Structures are given as structure tokens and as C-alpha cells.
Amino acid sequence: MKHLMCLFVAMSLSINAYSKEIQLDDGARFVTKDENPYSQLCIAALESRDAIKAKAEELGIGRRAQKQVVCNDLSLYEFAEKHREDIREWSVANVQ
């Protein structure tokens, strides 16, 4: 928890112009205008599962903390599920 608080304070103190935009195939557009690590995870969720994993690793956000992320009043995975049709494929295991 201390790590997350320190990360939040550090991100809050750094004042840089940051903007990330993603547009989905259906025309929906999502924009984040800050460097909030949780906002960055939400944008990554719109890209792919691998993007979430890579962004979380880059930002030092563990799986437990990911469960606390809220994107537009939805959990990270509910948000991805709402806006990505291939989300169900993310949880399918291949057994051989």
C-alpha cells in the first residue's frame, strides 16, 4: 500500500503534458490526459490482454492492485469486457 501511495504522489508531482487516445472499431473514443498509472491501465485494457500485462509490469502494479482499478465506474476487466469483443478469449485455457 505504501508503494502505491508513493507511486501516486510521485505521479501527481510530475507535471508533464500527457495525452493518450484510443479509438475502437465501433467509433468509441477514449482519452486520458494525465499520467495516472491507473488511467494508463484502463487505456491498455482497450488494446489487449498483453498490453495490460506489459503496462502493469512497466508501472509496477501487481495483480492485487489491478483488481482495485476502476475505469469509468467499472473494474478494469469489466471495462475491457464491455468494450472488447475478444475478452472472452482471454480467459480460455488450452488443454492438450
Provide the 3-class DSSP secondary structure of residue 90: helix
* Structural domain contains residue 16: yes
CA separation for the pair 42, 22 (Å, rounded):
11
* Structural domain contains residue 95: no
* Structural domain contains residue 38: yes
* Structural domain contains residue 94: no
The total domain count for the chain is: 1
Which pTM does this prediction carry? 0.63
**Range of the structural domain that residue 15 is part of:** 2-86
**Contact at 8 Å (CB) between 41 and 56?**
yes
| Residues 31-89 pLDDT 10s | 777 778 888 899 888 888 899 999 999 999 999 999 999 988 999 989 888 887 766 55
Q: Is the pLDDT of residue 9 over 60?
A: no
* Structural domain contains residue 74: yes
**Contact at 8 Å (CB) between 73 and 49?**
no
* Structural domain contains residue 31: yes
CA separation for the pair 96, 26 (Å, rounded):
35
